[in-house]
Amino acid sequence: MGQFASLARGGCPGSPQKSQLGFCRATFRRAVNSRRVSKENHTSSEPADVRQRLNALREALLALHKALLASERVSYEATFGKITSPYQFLQLLTNDPWFAWLMPVTRLITKLDEILDAKEPLSAAGTEALMAETRTLLVASEGGEGFSRHYDEAMQRSPDVVFAHAAVAKLIRPPQTGK
């Protein structure tokens, strides 16, 4: 319970910062309430499928994030040796430059959590903007820099990352305009 109490207060276990990643509090809140949909967040002005689309995107991004973490952990351990505990892994995730490239995905999940938890009704336009942001982020490029290069390497290294990417890609396809 102590670990979760730390998360509930807004910090990451063992981290002096309130939340360097910016996701501990929102992620904890979503984890506790993940299957309980708040009636107060739904309003009659919210298009019917918007919340469902965002929840599906969130779940797919979490699976992708998990696959990326697993792939990056294997790569890290091949270079530096075994990570001995979950606590050490958390410290590496929050402080080690090796894992810093994953922050854009973490921030995107956090943004989704905040939007889904907000009292304001969701809009189709806001949802489409978030889908476009996700499409822009999840571009793997062998010759790219930063995130896109690391993302390409992870996709080359791990079939799980490829499958998780495909699941997200299905959800973020651009809307079809007339034929």
Tell which residue, 91, 61, 47, has the closest CA to residue 73.
91
Sorted by sequence, the CB contacts under 8 Å of residue 54 that are 6+ apart come out as 112, 115, 116, 122, 127, 130
pLDDT at 1 over 80: no
Domain ranges of the chain: 2-171
Q: What is the pLDDT of residue 178?
A: 58
Q: What is the pLDDT of residue 21?
A: 47
Q: What is the pLDDT of residue 16?
A: 43
Distance in angstroms (rounded) separating the CA atoms of residues 171 and 40: 26
Which of helix, strand or coil describes residue 8? helix
Q: What is the pLDDT of residue 47?
A: 79
pLDDT at 13 over 50: no
Distance in angstroms (rounded) separating the CA atoms of residues 160 and 100: 20
pLDDT at 20 over 70: no
* For the chain, percent of residues with pLDDT exceeding 90: 61
Residue indicated by tokens 């294997």: 74
* pLDDT tens sequence across 47-100: 778 999 999 999 999 999 999 999 999 999 999 999 999 999 999 999 999 999
